[in-house]
Amino acid sequence: MAVGGGWWDKPVRIERPDTGRPFNVSNNNRAAELLLNEWPAEPGPKHLAARKAVLKAMEQALDARRQAVARKAFHEAAKEAGIAMGD
């Protein structure tokens, strides 16, 4: 089982919870840190799904499909929390 950063093909642009400034999340490590420690809203179902997807992608860092699933799940959670910017 490989564990790694799992860089995404395209970053997810969010509004930083602590500063309100735009910020790009482009890998599983940063997404996990935000989801676990810095999430600005009450965790909802999409937040939980993103946590699971990101952790699975970290376990299989060389699997491009897992990275795409993690990115999409993180983006959906960011929309649910109202911090997503753009697509």
Residue pLDDT, tens place only, 51-78: 999 999 999 988 999 999 999 999 999 9
Mean pLDDT of 33-53: 95
HSE of 58 in the Cβ direction (CA atoms, 13 Å)? 14
For the purposes of burial, counting CB atoms within 10 Å of the CB of 54, is it exposed (0-12), middle (13-18) or buried (19 or more)?
Answer: buried
pLDDT of residue 67: 94
Helix (H/G/I), strand (E/B), else coil: 32: helix
Give Rg (Cα) of the chain: 12
CA–CA dist 55, 26 (Å, integer):
15
pTM: 0.90
Averaged pLDDT score across all residues of the chain: 91
For strand 7-15 and strand 22-27, is the pairing parallel, antiparallel, or unpaired? antiparallel
Provide the percentage of residues in the chain whose pLDDT is more than 70.
Answer: 93
